[in-house]
Each structure stands twice: as structure tokens, then as C-alpha cells.
Chain A
Amino acid sequence: MKPFLREKVPSGIDDIPNVTAYEAGYLVTKNSGWRNFRPVIDTQKCVGCLSCYLHCPDGVIFRKDGKVAIDYDFCKGCGICEKICRPGAIVMEAEK
């Protein structure tokens, strides 16, 4: 199962489990605020080699229609994808 964002954020003492176990893949915050640059994919240039998808430390690049797309909620903007992209289909654009 892929971890995903939940609506309920445990906050009060009643929400905190009294055992050292909790639901797997429970996300309550995004990582998008970490980013100064965002990778942007030019789907015209993308050849679907999946090298960026394979090498992304955060797994935010996913397969879509034979090519790739990015989950910007969790991309930290490290730039590995831009560097590894042979056809140069990914450019890093400054976040405004």
C-alpha cells in the first residue's frame, strides 16, 4: 500500500494510541514546502525511459501514459531527476 494523506490528524491524548503501533502509511503533512526549485517535465521530450522514476529518493515520480508525472505534494526538489534525464526533458524552475 502506498502511504497517503489523511484528513484526521491525531492531536488530543485520546487520539494517541496506548500501544506502540499505529496504522501503516499514515501521512498528515506534505513535503512541498521544502522545495526552492520544482522539476518540470516536458512530455514532448520525455522518451519514457523511467530513469527519473527509478532514481527518485522520494518516489514522487510515477508512471503515466507511457511517460512520467510528478506528485508535487511530496517532491523536495533535490534535482536528481533533472540530472539523470538523458533527453533533457526535465528542467528545474524556481518556486515563486
Chain B
Amino acid sequence: MAVNAKTLNETEFFYGHKACAGCGGSLAVRIALKVLGENSFAVLPAGCMSAVGFNFPQLCFGNNAIISTFAGTASMLTGVEAGLRAQGITDFHAVGFAGDGGTADIGLQALSGAIDRNDDILYICYDNEAYMNTGIQKSSLTPFGARTTTTPAGKNIHGNLRPKKNMFEIVAAHGIPYAATASVGYLNDFMRKVEKAKSIKGTKYIHILAPCPTGWGIKTNETVEAAKEVVDCGLWYLAEYENGEFTLNHRPKEFSSVESYLKKQSRFRHLTDNDIEIITASRDKKWEYINKNFR
């Protein structure tokens, strides 16, 4: 049976945490753990979710959870999985929750190694598009034009100069058994992907876009809306990689306005018409590629 709000495990495993109000990352972690259930062993590197989940003595995970080194999410998952296997435990899910910096910058090598070994782990990257925990510094998953504290917007330079790293396809290029993208604006799609990953042996990777009201400059109640809109305007997409093939899961009939998506967020408010044209053109180029190569 498909997982949805009605069939979802009613137990909360991530509760009482100190994330900012309206946090997209904590929503992703909460829902993933509800799908995975009690027997999940979570690994969290330095990042928002470990900072808000483990404030001793306020410990907000109801399942087994541990903090790893910043770079070592995937390698610790490897160890957790091997340790459980050595103890003869078979009914478990080793799951990692790392942010965009902990995945695409700092933890990339360990993740690449784990995929190479095809360890039986699930790696979830909650992508809030900057190092939000330490005060909004640019990561390699920060999109073009975004203002962060290390890519300020001035008269000559309008925020981040570089495009968002294509983490999903980098992971897929390893020939991983299962990889997917998701968004907290489309939770049914995300739950289906976590459910699917549960049943697959080998390394699984899910990249979920999770807006951050604090870093993006949106209201706390706009998180889910922003995560929907980014998919609807084509700047993010819901796809899967399996058996060497890419599948697109959601095709917007018509893209909504990129400008309207960007201008709602204070990190993009400085963008000129020319900047928005660059972003729209890169979106169109990306979709040309998707239409050609994704099923």
C-alpha cells in the first residue's frame, strides 16, 4: 500500500528539536524517519539537524542516532551497517541525514567511497542551499545569484557567481542502485521514494530540497509553498535514477514564473532582470537536457 498521511506511522521519532520555526530540513528528517520506522539508525554530521537534535540533555531522536564528523556521514554509515550485520541484526535501516555542505562539499569523498563499496545504506541530503547552521555561508549547492554572508550582493557582483552543483547526477554517475531528488513541497513523492529505498539493497541516495526561512528570507509559514514553487517553476525537478536510467516523476504542464519564485525571497531580491534572464535560460537548458535524457 502506498504511504500517505493516512497510512504513515503515527509515532514521531524527531520531536522537541530546536530548529527554527518552519524549518524544511526538520520536516524532511521527521517524515523520512516515520517512513523508515523504529529500527532506523540515524547518522548526522555537523549541520543544522545535529545542532537542533542533540542539545544535551535535550535529545530529540526517539530512535538510535549519532553525530558523525562533518566529512564522515557515509563512512560512519558504513561502520554502523557493518556493526549491525556483525551482530546478526538484519531488520534495520542505516540512514544518514546530511545538509548540502555536508554532502556536496565536505562529505563528498566519503559518500563516493560508500557508493563504490555499495554499502547497504540510505543517504539523505536535505538541501537548504547554504551552510545555514553556521550563519548562511555559500556551499556548492547554493544557486546562482543567491546572497549569502560569503557571497554578498553589491553593485558589481550580485550574490553567488556559480551555479548549483549537480549532485544528483554526480551520485548517479557512480552507477548507484538508487538515487532520487525530492522536495518538501511534494511529500507524497518523497515518502514513496523513501519507501522504495527501504526495499533496495545497496547504496541509496535521496536529495531533498528543504527551504530555510532564516537563510532564504521567507516567512516561517512559506516553507512548503516555496518548496512547491521551486518545482513548479522548473528550477528543481523530481526524478529518479535506477538500473542505469533516469526517470522524471513530475512534469509541470507549464512553468510558473521564475521571477515570482525568486522575488519572494530576500536572498534573491537584489537580482536584476538580466540576472533573472540568465537563471531562466539555464533552467531551459537544463530541461532540454532532461527531456532528451530522462524517461
A40-91 with Cβ < 8 A to chain B? 49-51, 53-59, 62-63, 74, 76-80, 82-84
Residues of A within 8 A of B61 (CB): 3, 24-25
Residues of B within 8 A of A14 (CB): none
Evaluate contact between B5 and A79: CB separation under 8 angstroms.
Answer: no
**A24-B15 contact in complex given A51-B5, A78-B223, A83-B225, C-beta closer than 8 Å:** no
Evaluate contact between B5 and A31: CB separation under 8 angstroms.
Answer: no
Listed residue (A4, A57, A58, A79) with the most chain B CB atoms within 10 angstroms of its CB: A57
Chain B, residue nearest A22 (CB): B59
* Residue B280 CB within 8 A of the other chain: no
Evaluate contact between A59 and B220: CB separation under 8 angstroms.
Answer: no
Evaluate contact between B5 and A54: CB separation under 8 angstroms.
Answer: yes
* Residue B145 CB within 8 A of the other chain: no
CA distance A7 to B179 in the complex (A): 43
CA distance A28 to B12 in the complex (A): 17
Residues of A within 8 A of B16 (CB): 3, 5, 27, 29-31, 58, 74
**A78-B187 contact in complex given A26-B58, A28-B58, A50-B5, C-beta closer than 8 Å:** no
Chain B, residue nearest A25 (CB): B62
Chain A nearest CB from B216 CB (Å) reads: 14
Evaluate contact between A50 and B6: CB separation under 8 angstroms.
Answer: yes
Residues of B within 8 A of A2 (CB): 11-13, 15, 62
Evaluate contact between A28 and B57: CB separation under 8 angstroms.
Answer: yes
* Residue A19 CB within 8 A of the other chain: no
Residues of A within 8 A of B24 (CB): 57
**A1-B221 contact in complex given A27-B16, A78-B21, C-beta closer than 8 Å:** no
Listed residue (A24, A26, A79, A80) with the most chain B CB atoms within 10 angstroms of its CB: A80
B59-114 with Cβ < 8 A to chain A? 59-65
* Residue B27 CB within 8 A of the other chain: yes
Evaluate contact between B58 and A57: CB separation under 8 angstroms.
Answer: no
Evaluate contact between A3 and B15: CB separation under 8 angstroms.
Answer: yes
Chain B, residue nearest A49 (CB): B5
Chain A, residue nearest B33 (CB): A59
Residues of B within 8 A of A95 (CB): none
* Residue B18 CB within 8 A of the other chain: yes
Residues of B within 8 A of A76 (CB): 21-22, 220
Chain B, residue nearest A29 (CB): B58
**A57-B221 contact in complex given A2-B11, A23-B59, A27-B16, C-beta closer than 8 Å:** no
CA distance A49 to B188 in the complex (A): 13
Neighbour of B10 across the interface among A4, A55, A63, A74, CB < 8 A: A63
Mask, B231-254, CB within 8 Å of A = 1, is 000000000000000000000000
Residues of B within 8 A of A34 (CB): 21
Evaluate contact between A79 and B12: CB separation under 8 angstroms.
Answer: no
CA distance A59 to B30 in the complex (A): 7
* Residue B38 CB within 8 A of the other chain: yes
Chain A nearest CB from B134 CB (Å) reads: 20
Residues of A within 8 A of B19 (CB): 57-58
Chain A residues within CB distance 8 Å of chain B: 1-5, 9-10, 16, 22-31, 34-35, 49-51, 53-59, 62-63, 74, 76-80, 82-84
Chain B residues within CB distance 8 Å of chain A: 5-6, 8, 10-19, 21-24, 26-27, 30-31, 38, 56-65, 184, 187, 213, 219-225
With A30-B16, A50-B6 given, name 20 new contacts (CB 8 A): A3-B12, A3-B16, A3-B61, A10-B56, A10-B57, A25-B59, A26-B57, A27-B58, A29-B16, A31-B16, A57-B223, A58-B30, A59-B14, A59-B15, A77-B21, A78-B221, A78-B223, A80-B221, A80-B224, A84-B224
